[in-house]
Structure 1
Amino acid sequence: MPSAESDVVELILRDHRRMEDLFRTMRNAEADRAAALGEFAGLLVAHSLAEEEKVYPALRRYKNVDDDDVEHSVHEHGEANEALLALLEVEDTSSKEWEEKLEALVTAVNHHADEEERTLLNDARENVADSRRAQLGEAFAKARAEHLDAGCGSVENVRGIVASSGG
């Protein structure tokens, strides 16, 4: 079994748990919500792009991984990016609007993470060899780091992603 440091399934799950932690911080009126959102935006965008570039194309090659689940996940990334952009564009982190947009983002991301964990990630655990999951983990981690280094969570970048996906 690949280590938790290299298994693509474990790396994706770790990001999902970090996103949940950041949601808790963003819901806390006493916390630095803007800083948490900044970290969250980078993480969400880097995570989604790395999945779409490195993980999903590989999973499509396995007959026991449902292509429809892959397509659905890509669609849900688009919805999450739209919700993220809406939150990034709210200037006052103490406003009711900010809290409403946050909840829309939480709903979109949690729905996607839950579905992805029950479908694609379980399929990957069952059908993809440990060595291949480790290779995918390395590719995912590298792509994710490159996107983070490039500032992928900036409002300008998220705006461009949403615009290019027809959102």
Structure 2
Amino acid sequence: MGHGGNVIDELMTDHREVEEIFGRIEALPSGDKDRKVYADQATQELVRHSVAEEEYLYPAVREHLVNGNAMADREIEDHAKAEQLMKDLESRDASDPEFDQLITTLMSEIRSHIADEEQNLFPQLRVACSPEALDKLGDKVRTAKKLAPTRPHPSAPDTPPANKLLAPGAGLVDRLRDALTGRGKHG
């Protein structure tokens, strides 16, 4: 969850971790209950990651990149689609016939989003921002991930300042629910 380094290194490490979880899901047969455990783990990571990007990365994209507003809007739109998929997945067991379709769609959406960020957005940000600014953003993103929700909240605000105000409270409630239910842990 907190890796150190600049914002791009931090987020790319998150991308690799989520891809590793996706690989575990794909390695298991349809209906295996561990697919749900891994789907919950992926959701927890993706929600924290998305909240941190929406709080700090996308405002920086808007500020520093030539086409920043359009890029940030597209990324937030991607997050909204993924968040709705995660919300739909949340209520389904691995044995549910819709589970496989939802997790496959989510993995496809996330992989496309990751490729776009890593091939387009991150290289532009690396050019537009000083190393110090990228390091500061990395610190802010790490802090945001620690406080962020771990469950999808599709109706929550996704732009500052409202998201920065509401995310820590939702995150606290989510982490308590996860601890009480054992969500994302092997039984």
**Which category describes the TM-score, using the shorter chain as reference length?**
0.7 to 0.9
Q: Which whole-Å CA distance do the structure 2 matches of 1:62 and 1:163 have between them?
A: 28
Instruction: Give the direction of change, closer, same or farther, for the CA distance of 1:77–1:117 in structure 2 (3 Å limit).
Output: same
Q: What displacement does 1:31 show?
A: 7.3
Deviates more, 1:70-79 or 1:35-44: 35-44
String of CA shifts for 1:8-62, please: whole Å, max 9, x gaps.
Answer: 0011111111111111112223672222122211111110010110111122111
User: Which of 25-34 and 42-51 deviates more?
Assistant: 25-34
The answer for unaligned runs of 5 or more in structure 2 is: 158-187
The residue type paired with residue 44 of structure 1 is L
* Contact 2:33/2:95 (8 A) holds in 1: no
Aligned equivalent of 2:4: 5
Deviation readout 1:47-98 (Å, 9 max, x if unpaired): 001011011112211144532111100110001101111222212x134421
Aligned counterpart, 1:45? 47
1:163 to 141, 155, 163: 155
Shift of 1:111: 1.2
1:14 aligns with 2:7: no
8 Å Cα contact 2:56-2:140 kept in structure 1: yes
TM score, norm. by length of structure 1: 0.83
Residues 65 and 125 in structure 2, CA contact (< 8 A), matched pair in contact too:
no
Higher relative contact order (CA 8 A, sep 6+): 1
| Percentage of matched positions with identical amino acids | 22
Task: Report the Cα distance in structure 1 between the residues aligned to 2:56 and 2:89, rounded to whole angstroms.
Answer: 27
Indicate if the aligned counterparts of 1:60 and 1:70 stay in contact, CA closer than 8 A: yes
Indicate the residue corresponding to 2:150 in structure 1.
Answer: 153
Kept in 1, the 8 Å contact 2:4–2:139? The answer is no
Superposed counterparts of 1:114-153, under 5 Å:
114-147=115-148, 152-153=149-150
Take 1:125 and 1:96, find their aligned partners in 2: how far apart are those partners?
43
RMSD: 1.8
Question: Does the 8 Å contact 1:9/1:133 carry over to 2?
Answer: yes
The 1-side partners of 2:67 and 2:146 are apart by: 26
In structure 2, what is the equivalent of residue 79 of structure 1? Answer: 81
Amino acid in structure 2 at the alignment position of 1:140: V
The number of residue pairs the alignment matches comes to 152
Corresponding residue SS for 2:63: coil
Distance 1:20 1:31, change over 3 A: farther
Alpha-carbon distance, 1:137 to partner: 0.1
- Take 2:70 and 2:14, find their aligned partners in 1: how far apart are those partners? 23
CA distance, structure 1, for counterparts of residue 98 and residue 63 of structure 2: 43
Gaps of 5+ in 1: none
Q: TM-score, structure 2 length as denominator?
A: 0.75
Other structure's SS at 1:94 match: coil
Looking at structure 2, the residues matched to 24 and 58 of structure 1 have their Cα atoms a distance apart, in angstroms, of: 31
